Amino acid sequence: MVKLMLRLLIVLSILMANAFAQTAAKKEFEVASIRANPPQTGFHFGGDAGGKPDMSNPGMFRCSGCTLATLVRTAFNLQKYQFPGQAALGTGTFEVSAKIPDGATTADVPAMLQSLLKERFAFASHYQEKAMRGYHLTVAKGGPKLKESDGEARPAAPSRGWQEQGHAHTGTVNFGGQSTFRASNQTTADLAQIVSEQLGVPVDDQTNLKGKYDIALNWTGTAAPSSGGHGEGGFGGAGHGDHGGGGAPPARREETGATIFEALQSQLGLKLVQADQATARILIVDHAERVPTAN
């Protein structure tokens, strides 16, 4: 009996070691190439200008003409307001091609990219919380209209971008000025983050709701109401460039429907309240080389 138990423990230890090794392997690309492009001549945009990550091939991560700032924003899933020092990383662009290990998913890519930045650019950073103007997500008068989740993951719908989420997040789809968000097993903190991405400013979850919900939200591509305001007498830009926001306010409401401010209230029973002291999590760069080490 003792020998049998020992054998079981040995087998269990081997299985756990293999599982740990597989998990660790997911944190690094199998192989990666970073090639610097020739310096740009003439007028060019600094900071975040450049290419965008390409995940059209499920087994590869590619980024053509990407700045170091773009790679960092992708690795840490940052909004522009979370990365105020990005211009200091320079305007040089790179051709990046990396193979994702078997068994890993696109959800593992950010951690792999962080490891790659550390290895090839000696990248080091830390987070800092900063109070800045934004919004609080609160419960509207009349109470929430959220559907409690049954915990069952829904089939993934087409989504903006390439990151998979553990809570069956189906993503935000922007088309023809209209935007749709569908997700299951979401907290209101998850929703606040999505709204923050759309508005380009921090949004704190102050609903005090503790459950998980299946969320369906539809709104116009412009963040601000057609009157030109921000719902609560707001401020800032009208949207986030990568999310279908921005541009001139629509002339006629009947052509566009509800803004995100109105949609949150009418469809989910939630409300955005202007806040001068919303909490933003800012990434501070401690060190980064302008030229990567050789392949």
pLDDT per residue as tens, the chain (295 positions): 655 555 555 545 555 545 444 444 448 999 999 999 998 665 544 444 556 787 777 789 999 999 999 999 999 999 889 999 899 999 999 999 999 999 888 889 999 999 999 999 999 999 999 999 999 999 999 999 999 998 765 544 433 333 333 344 456 776 667 889 999 999 999 999 999 988 999 999 999 999 999 999 999 865 544 333 344 434 343 333 333 333 333 334 444 479 999 999 999 999 999 999 898 999 999 999 999 999 8
Phi, psi (deg, nearest 5) at residue 51 = -75, 180
Phi, psi (deg, nearest 5) at residue 234 = -75, -165
Task: Report d(CA 183, CA 162) in Å as an integer.
Answer: 15
The pTM (predicted TM-score) of the whole model is: 0.65
Q: What are the boundaries of each domain within the chain?
A: 2-121, 131-281
The tens digit of pLDDT for each residue in 12-56 reads 555 554 544 444 444 899 999 999 999 866 554 444 455 678 777
- Nearest alpha-carbon partner for 94 in 124, 117, 77: 117
> Rounded mean pLDDT of the chain?
77
CA-CA-CA-CA dihedral for 215, 221, 224, 228, to nearest 10: -150
